[in-house]
Amino acid sequence: MASETKQAVESTVVATSEKEVDNEHDLVAGITLLDVLNKWQLVLAWIGLLLVSFTNYLDSVTVGTYFVYALSEFERLSVEGALSAIFGVIALGIQGVLATLAGEIHSFTIVAASVCLITLAFILEASAPGIGTLIAGFSIYAVGLMTSKFMIYVLTAELSNMRHRSLSLGAANLPAMISQLGGAKMAESVLKRLSWRWGIALWCIMIPVASIPLLAALFIGRRKVHQKGMLEIPASRKRRVLGIWAKLLEQDLIGCVLLAAGCALLFLPIPLEHGGVERYASAHCVAPTVIGFCVLIAFGIWEAKFALNPLFPKRLIRNKNVLGPCLASLCGGFSLSFLLPYFYVYVMVTSQLSISSATYITLTLTLTNAFAQLCYGALVSWMQRPKWLFVANMGLLVLGGGLQLAFPDPHSQLAGLVAAQIVSGFGFGGFMNVLVLAQASTLPQDVPVLSAAYIILANFSTSVAGAVAGGMWTTILVKNLEQYLPSEIKDQARAIMGSLTVAQSYEWGSPEREAIILAHKKTFRHFFVGFIVTASMAFLLSFICDDIHVGKIDEERSAAKRKAEEKEIPHAP
């Protein structure tokens, strides 16, 4: 009902100091691309957005496969978990910065910067002489990719209204289906004919070219805003830079740095330590962990007592339509990130599948996720009430985890394992409704903050899961290998753990290969159990939100905007 929806909106408008925010004013969104672009320019913007999304997913699929062979070449496959943790830490550190920049710098500049960063990263990775340069390139890539994905969320919000927001978010992820279907064959073809280095180098050309349509649409949008006099430009570049720096400090740059530093120190030592948890007990590993724990405590104190604009504003934390879905997203992200880093290696070792087939199995979950997002988006546009669909999605996530535990063998139970991945993918497809529920119950200008908070929580779970998965892989797998390997090759346990090539070098059906397969199965059972536990937590947390009618939210905001425009236009005498 309209009164119910209005109450939900008004409940989010709280005092920012001692004054209460004016509800009518805050319901009016700022100038968006939807307001300034004509029909064909909007088509160009959507084509560009989908193309950038497509390349983001396609390079993730192919480069993820290339990295397995790159790490195997450097005999550091165990670092795969550390890469997940590094990605999560970087994502944590830059979201607050991106949320600030999105309000201060035009989208054209931010998207162009992300293209440059990703291209530079691929140049470093393709020419990497060792593991250090490879990780450095990956770190720059993580910054560029997270910037690009953040802008996809923000631009999708600018190109859609609330009723169709879920459908638009699903459409923005639709290219994942095509890229993941073609990415596996592309990676296999490149690895057979060229090498992982050439595979990465190809993206140095493809990324800039694919970004041209979106950059063109954003440039047109910026020009129109300039022409209408709606964009204020500082008198000098120096003043603009100083203004942005002051805004970053005001918007909690210190909090972002503390959070990223604390997570890096706390979560990276275990997966980076090639000897696993046993060698982690040494002083050079324990010290960073203790310091990281202290830094995270300092982060909590800073956010609670000193931050002018905390990363997670109190008015949003107190809103259960933000808190519940975001916490569910945190747990769901943990379950996904806990499983994926070593899943490709597990499938390749325990089956006789080709590179492309194993990649397809690995991507089944995320491929289904992309398809499900589009379906759920259409359902939300029709139903206009996303809550119970979100709850059902989390239930499917738990069911998918149980099926994975029941059908873990990709050689003899392939159909069951694929079905489990599909069910889990339909569960994960509902996570876009987290943003819909949060954005529907807050103010339009909170979109960048909510996008940043959503990505921060998702990548915090990635950092934690990557660290835990890396620690389990380097510890439990080695113990299982030492237990089951024939006595004459027990000393090869760490070499087998550290390289897919070494593990596959033993002939299928031989006692050595059977022992390697058994050790991997025993190890991965722990990963499946972790998936179920965290998915169950996400299911319980999904109930903590209201049954919001997003169509009524649109009506309230449109009415407020019309009323504001009528006040600005003087009536003719």
Q: Please report, for the chain, the start and end positions of each structural domain, with discontinuous segments joined by +.
A: 22-312+320-561
What are phi and psi for residue 411, nearest 5 degrees?
-90, -50
pLDDT at 250: 62
* Cα gap 382→364, rounded to integer Å: 27
The pair of three-digit structure tokens given for residue 457, joined into one six-digit string: 């929580």
Q: Say how far residue 9 (Cα) sits from the centre of its chain.
A: 28
* Cα gap 455→279, rounded to integer Å: 33
In one-letter notation, the amino acid at residue 289 is: T
Contact 528, 408 (CB under 8 A): yes
Enclosing H/E stretch for 273: none
* Cα gap 385→549, rounded to integer Å: 5
How many other CB atoms are found less than 10 A from the CB of residue 271? Answer: 28
pLDDT at 427: 83
What does 178-212 look like in DSSP terms, one character per residue? HHHHHHHHHHHHHHHHS-HHHHHHTHHHHHHHHTH
Q: Which ranges of 159-305 does DSSP label H, i.e. alpha helix?
A: 165-172, 175-193, 196-201, 203-210, 212-227, 237-250, 253-267, 269-272, 277-280, 283-301
In one-letter notation, the amino acid at residue 560 is: A
* pLDDT tens-place values along the chain, 573 residues long: 333 333 333 333 333 333 333 443 343 445 555 556 677 877 787 888 888 888 877 777 787 778 777 877 776 666 666 676 677 677 767 766 776 676 667 777 788 888 888 888 888 888 878 777 888 888 888 888 888 887 777 777 777 666 666 666 666 666 666 776 677 677 777 877 777 788 888 888 888 888 888 888 878 777 766 665 555 555 555 565 566 566 666 666 777 778 777 777 776 665 555 444 455 555 556 677 778 778 878 877 887 777 777 767 777 777 777 777 778 878 887 887 777 778 888 888 888 887 777 877 887 887 787 777 777 777 777 777 777 777 888 888 889 888 888 888 887 788 888 888 888 888 887 777 776 777 666 666 666 677 667 777 777 777 777 777 877 887 888 888 888 888 888 888 888 877 777 888 888 888 888 888 888 888 888 888 888 888 888 888 878 777 777 666 666 666 666 666 566 555 544
pLDDT at 8: 39
DSSP character at residue 15: B
DSSP character at residue 312: S
Contact 307, 255 (CB under 8 A): yes
* Cα gap 522→481, rounded to integer Å: 10
Between helix 39-73 and helix 343-350 the angle, nearest 10°, is: 60
pLDDT at 359: 76
* Cα gap 445→157, rounded to integer Å: 11
pLDDT at 81: 64
Contact 504, 348 (CB under 8 A): yes
* Cα gap 157→102, rounded to integer Å: 13
Between helix 355-383 and helix 343-350 the angle, nearest 10°, is: 130
DSSP character at residue 330: H
How many other CB atoms are found less than 10 A from the CB of residue 439? Answer: 24
How many other CB atoms are found less than 10 A from the CB of residue 65? Answer: 26
> Regarding the domain delimited by 22-312+320-561, which CATH topology (the fold level of the hierarchy) does it fall under?
Growth Hormone; Chain: A; (1.20.1250)
What does 47-115 look like in DSSP terms, one character per residue? HHHHHHHHHHHHHHHHHHHHHHHHHHHTT-GGGHHHHHHHHHHHHHHHHHHHHHHHHHS-HHHHHHHHH
Residue 88 has, within 13 A of its CA and on its CB side, a CA count of 32
Q: Which ranges of 304-428 does DSSP label H, i.e. alpha helix?
A: 314-317, 320-339, 343-350, 355-383, 387-406, 414-428
Residue count of the chain, please give it: 573
What are phi and psi for residue 168, nearest 5 degrees?
-65, -40
- CB-count burial class (<10 Å; 0-12, 13-18, 19+) for 84: buried
